[in-house]
Amino acid sequence: MTGKAVKKAFHAWTSSRADRIAVVRLDGHIGSGVGGRSGLTGEGVENVLRRAFDVEHLKAVVVTINSPGGSPAQSEYIAERIRQLSSEKGVRVLAFCEDLAASGGYWIACAADEIYAARTSMVGSIGVVSSGFGLSSVLDRVGVERRLYTSGDNKARLDTFSPAKEEDVEWLKLLQEQLHDAFIAWVRQRRGAKLKGTDAELFNGDVWVGKRAVDMGLVDGLGVMRSVIAERYPDAEITTIESPKPLLARLTGGQVRSSTSAAVVRGVVDAVEKRADWARLGL
């Protein structure tokens, strides 16, 4: 064996034994939505999370988050799974907020032992939102009769084409309060004494940029992933765990070459997703 081959073999051997940092990227809306549209779900990220925690010579798992939120339940499923795997493997988790880690995105970030944000990241939005449209008067104008039949008096609460009832609005507010309380409890459980500020300041649904999020105790420090990892684990190698392809790539089979065509497809997908979100109750 030549000297060059020996050096190459030695490098390969030492590399295989090097400490590693597994990186998982969670990007996009949380929840499967309708029609199987792409989104982050507990089931959807299970494989990538397990692969991350199964990496050999693992020193830490990094979760990079870029999400405006979505389903409360799926946010909880993902966060709980991260905590379970972290406990089972005895490995610390670091979360990095990218453009946006808001609402359900921040819920997931709280599963980490440490949270970092860039100076320009937007973080927080600890609240619950529900939106919809009231179109009952539209039917009257065009002379359309609404026919709605239910078994159960409350089956069709807040129907888009029926006038809103005060008791239904109160029912919705109660649901929102319950979800909000669960969100607050989770943040307090994970951030504890790190939080700085009153409940009115922390849990009013506002979003904070980088440094202000640090001041509020919502994140532990400022920094981007590779810089922080290089400082914390200078000898470790980064192993990126590939996530499932987004919906756009699956629809086009990765064959979209024209930027115009891609923009058209993306616009259609975005429009469908926004319409599906109109009547959502989520983080």
Does this model's pTM top 0.75? My answer is yes
Mean pLDDT of 150-175: 80
pLDDT of residue 264: 46
Task: Write the pLDDT tens digit of every residue in 79-109.
Answer: 999 999 999 999 999 999 999 999 999 999 9
Q: Which residues constitute the domain of residue 209?
A: 3-282
Q: How many residues in total does the chain contain?
A: 283
Range name among 125-134, 167-176, 263-272 with the lowest pLDDT average:
263-272
| Residues 38, 70 contacting (CB under 8 angstroms) | no
- What local confidence, expressed as pLDDT, does residue 183 receive? 96
pLDDT above 90 covers what percent of the chain? 58
The more confidently predicted of residues 157 and 174 is 174
Q: How far is it, in rounded angstroms, from Cα 67 to Cα 101?
A: 5
How many domains does one find in the chain?
1
How confident is the model over 32-57, as a mean pLDDT? Answer: 85
- Half-sphere exposure (Cβ direction) of 142: Cα atoms closer than 13 Å: 8
Tell me the average pLDDT across 25-38.
76
Mean of all residue pLDDT scores within the chain: 82
Six-digit token pair at 252? 């086009």
Helix (H, G, I), strand (E, B) or coil at 65: strand
What CATH number has the domain bearing residue 24? Answer: 3.90.226.10
